Amino acid sequence: MATPQQPQAETLTEDECWRYLESAYIGRLAVINRAVPEIFPVNFVPVDRTILFRTAPGAKLNAMLSSTPVAFETDGLGTYSTEVWSVVVKGIPGQVPEGEAPVELADPDREPWLPGPKDHLIRITPTEVTGRRFPVHSRTRWWPPLDFSSDWT
């Protein structure tokens, strides 16, 4: 008995990955903080094939300053929500010296979601950039997203 052909994920080239990174501004940063994995949402800017974001003192900054490799991921929906994509950047974090912030960070749409000073500019220098894209089927099974938070109150 034949089974229907399942859609295959398409591996993205590095150039395609960077084009997707340039179209996004929210991602997830995965770090190891004192031997414990943690994930943080961050607003980011890709500049010269690096990932830049601002942060405040705390667990995220401590993990960044340890120079332990990190992973960064962002994803999105393609045109008409018929395909999805995901890009992962693995690399080495480091603090950008004061006065060396690129002009791209002045974009008002790139402000952090959480208010408060974010005095530390971090750069992730990639060691690996990978991505994939694949068609979405049965869109009615996952779209529109359900908000269960009203059930919690």
List the Cα angle 49/54/59 in 5-degree steps: 115
Is the pLDDT at 109 greater than 90, yes or no?
A: no
pLDDT digits (tens, 9 = 90+) for 116-146: 777 888 999 999 999 999 887 655 555 555 5
10-136 CATH: 2.30.110.10
Question: Which pair of structure tokens corresponds to residue 151?
Answer: 């059930």
Provide the residue ranges of all domains of the chain, joining segments of one domain with +.
10-136
Mean pLDDT lowest among 33-47, 71-85, 108-122, 132-146:
132-146
What's this model's pTM, rounded to 2 decimal places? Answer: 0.80
Based on DSSP, count helices (H) and strands (E) in the chain, helices before strands. 2, 8
